[in-house]
Structure 1
Amino acid sequence: MDTSAYLTAVVEQTSTFADWVHGKDATAPVPTCPKWTLADLVDHVGAVQRMVTMLVGEQMTEPSGAFAGYVPGPADSGQWRAWLNDCAAEARQAFASVTDDTPVWDPSGAAAGVPFWSRRLLGEVCVHRADAAVALGVPYELAPEPALAALDDWLETMTSRGYWENRPGFADAMRGDGQTLRFHATDAPGEWVARREPDRVVLERTHAEADVVVSGPAAELLLVISRRRPLSAASALEVRGDRALLDHWIDHMDWVAEG
């Protein structure tokens, strides 16, 4: 997917999310983000989109201005649909005003800029739509292409140099001496191998032998790896190899309330 396709998908996913939450109980708990209510979830999705809109639209090379520009979402859940859809539309406009090589700050440590943020917004809304599905008791479906993009975002972000350096607890848990995990989407062309090294996790988009292999539909992989669905409830996934290694990986993919 290119930047334009990512933002088209962001608008579509946000529209579905907005329809689900519109007019619902703002105090409803979100089980997959235990400290959050539905209002917190809505606020987070819209606020992140608006922050990224500022970063990209104003071509910021450091983030403090965008962080300081936080504005909470409406208190009235009857206004959520319009607010969320406006957030996504504004983000789409901001990305249309730049090119992929426009300098924009991002936290990856790799100066990935505009492409990083376009993929990050899609990953955000896909995962948080799963949170809303659990909170509201509605079925969650995600087509293979956006699921693949969201899965790629999750894995790339969680194994980035920036995440490693900013989350020392995660870094300590993920240090290794070459243990490998392969994630294989069976309904779209996507395969990743993560290798635990002493100083980082190396992620490669490749097919290779690994200590543990997890295969299945991209959406199911996304839900399990992002800890939105227990592995025990993901009947469509096949696990081969070192199950303890996979359990350790999932246990420390703890970007639940922040991501």
Structure 2
Amino acid sequence: MDTSAYLKAVVEQTSTFADWVHDKDATAPVPTCPEWTLADLVDHVGSVQRMVSMLVGERMTEPSKAFEGYVPGPADSGQWRAWLNDGAAEATQAFTSVTDDTPVWDPSGAAAGVPFWSRRLLGEACVHRADAASALGTRYELAPDLAVEALEDWLDTMTSRGYWENRPGFADAMRGDGQTLHFHATDAPGEWVARREPDRVALERTHTKADVAVRGPAAELLLVISRRRPLEAAPTLEVHGDRALFVHWIEHMDWVTG
């Protein structure tokens, strides 16, 4: 997907999210993000979109101004729909003002800039819509191609140099000597192999034999890997090989509310 396709999907996912949460109980707990209420979830989704819009639209190479400009969501849940949709529209406008090679700060450590943020917004919208579904008892569905893109975002961000350096607990848990995990979406093109090394987790887009292989629908893979659905509640996933290695991986995907 290119940047424009990512932003189109962000608008669509945000619109669905906004329809779901509109005028709902702001104090409702979010089971998949135990520290959050529905108001916290809405605040996060809309405010992050606005921060990214500022980063990209103003071509920031240092993030402090955008962080300081964090705008909380409305207290009145009857205003949430419009506020969320406005945030997605602002993001679209910001990205149309730049090109993929416009210098923009991002936390990956790879200077990925504009492409990083367009995909990051899609991953945010897809995963946090799952959070809304858990809070509201709504059925969650996601097209396989979008689930693959959200998986790419999650895995690439979690294995980035920036994440490794800024999350020492994660780095300590993920250090290894070559253990490999293979993730394979069965309903859309998408395969990844993560290799635990002493100083990083290396990610490759390939098909190869691994210590543990996890196969299944892309949306189910996304929900389990992002800790939005317990592995035991995902009967469509096949786990072959060292199941404990995969369980260890899931347990340390601690970027739950980010």
Normalising by structure 2, we get a TM-score of 1.00
Shift of 1:104: 0.1
Distance 2:18 2:148 in 1: 22
Specify the alignment match of 1:78 in structure 2. Answer: 78
Secondary structure of the residue aligned to 1:180 is strand
Query: Separation in 1 of the partners of 2:146 and 2:102?
Result: 24
For structure 2, the 5+ residue unaligned runs are: none
- CA shift at 1:201, angstroms? 0.1
Where do residues 1-259 of structure 1 align in structure 2 (5 Å cutoff)? 1-257=1-257, 259=258
Tell me the distance in 1 between the aligned counterparts of 2:173 and 2:162. 16
Separation in 1, partners of 2:70, 2:252: 29
Secondary structure of 1:195's match? strand
> How well do the aligned residues superpose, as a CA RMSD in angstroms?
0.4
**TM-score (normalizing by structure 1):** 0.99
User: CA offsets per residue over residues 213-251 of structure 1, 9 Å max, x none?
Assistant: 000110000000000000001011100000000000000
CA distance in 2, matches of 1:17, 1:5: 18
Q: CA deviation at 1:117?
A: 0.2
- Partners in 2 of 1:159 and 1:37 — Cα distance? 28
Q: Tell me by how many angstroms 1:71 deviates.
A: 1.1
Report the Cα distance in structure 2 between the residues aligned to 1:145 and 1:92, rounded to whole angstroms.
Answer: 20
Counterpart secondary structure, 1:253:
coil
The C-alpha deviation readout for 1:79-109, integer Å capped at 9, x for no partner, is 0000000000100110011000000000000
Q: 2 CA distance for matches of 1:133 and 1:95?
A: 28
**Count of residues paired in the alignment:** 258
CA distance in structure 1 between the partners assigned to 2:237 and 2:87 by the alignment: 34
Structure 1 runs of 4+ with >6 Å offset: none
CA distance in 1, matches of 2:95, 2:238: 38
Could you tell me which runs of 5 or more consecutive residues in structure 1 were left unpaired when the two chains were aligned: none
Q: How far, CA to CA, are the matches of 2:145 and 2:214 in structure 1?
A: 18
What's the offset of the Cα at 1:254?
Answer: 1.1
